[in-house]
Structure 1
Amino acid sequence: MSKNSVYRLSAAALIACAVLSVLGGAAHPIHEGQAHTAHTLTQPIFPYAHFAIYLGAILLMVGLPAAAVHLAPRIGRIGLAGLALYFVTNAVAVQGGLTVEGFVVPALAADPSARHLIDETGAITAATWFNNIQMVAGLLFMLSMILLGIGLFRSGVVPRWTGAVLIAGAVFLLVVLPAIPMLPLVTGLLIELPRGLAVAMIGVVMIRSLRPAGTAPAWRLQEGASA
């Protein structure tokens, strides 16, 4: 398989990841300000919403290695550190959490004798070690978004709003989300949309990089025209 084919497939995986993640986040059930109670976990829409997010997370892992090759020379050490940390924390925090949330906890929620194992405060389960690992990995995940966002903002390889949106998404997850009640549709979009937009834009840039040499990106042409 040629390098161009790998780039195209990886870029398509990133764009599909964004679409599935946003759709799944928007459809994720929320009841009385909580997203992981026995009530929400047993809603008919939950398996479909969760599977969309889970499949999006898998596609992200498929697309990120080629994205790293494309971005590494342009995003500096800060951005590269963020990209590496983003990959690792997705593998640990996101994939690990999604596996438990999607394929273990709903079975507990459906069994009245096992519902005491669900943490009704939103931590998915009452397993202390699992929650602690998820908490640390989650904090590192948000740090990775900030570092990668800085690298993208400074790189010029993508529109600057891409990095700004990624940083804003991390700030929302770290500061705003814990302080506000969760709302159906709105909260899922606010969680998934910033990362989705950034990831999709990276995929678009990778595809555009395959154009003939000397062809400037569309946003660069617009900037030159307005200068």
Structure 2
Amino acid sequence: MYLIFEIEYDGTSYSGWQRQKNAVTIQGEIERAFREITGREISLTGAGRTDAGVHARAQIAHAEIGDELGITAEQLPLALNSKLSFDIRIKRIVFSEEKFHARFDAIAREYSYTIVTRYSVFDRHFCTHIRYPIDRNLLLQSAELFLLKDDFTTFSKRNSDIINNVCDVTVSKWVVVDENTLRYTIRANHFLYGMVRSLVGTMLDISRGKRDASEIATALSCRDRSLQSPLADARGLILEKIFYKNYL
């Protein structure tokens, strides 16, 4: 049987999604809570491996178990949440007899990145404060540069686990939320390690005149990570949604 989890979390206090020996992570905390509730070990597989400080509104993960748990799909999230910190919530769990893989069955993923031009303590975990002037028109226009199917090696961090660097980006846009807030949304079939933060960092450099939009096509074709801008801060990034054909 497969357990399919929908999870939201504030990643501020965690060293990312993936379990680590000497660090507190989202995966590690949920597996600990499951062990305390059921007395059984599970190994969660997440659809996206968010970095330290990155958040999720609807992370999907699965675990395969051999037999029944003796607890319902309605009861299990409540029990797990009672053992988790308030910055991690299990939104729901689906019990399925059909084979399911949170990562490989996903057909698309969507992230958002929020920047603010005026600092507020209430935004500090989920927005990145931009301390320099930007050209908003250039920022809005720059999103279209990445609306394509291409090899995004240049705009990523090295990761030996990824064998396909071609990403099909179907949504890439900035929206003005209010006079102090802008939000970027990007959707693709998959993402490379650090890709969204790299793209945001690049677009911010374009908006402040540190690089020209005409450079981007060449940078993509070169597949050279030295051509990327500094990565944007993790705190503004949220994994918003995972898309599947037949689940959730």
TM, length-normalised to structure 2:
0.27
Bigger proportion of residues as helix: 1
TM, length-normalised to structure 1:
0.28
Bigger proportion of residues as strand: 2
Which structure ranks higher in relative contact order (CA pairs < 8 Å, sequence separation ≥ 6)? 1
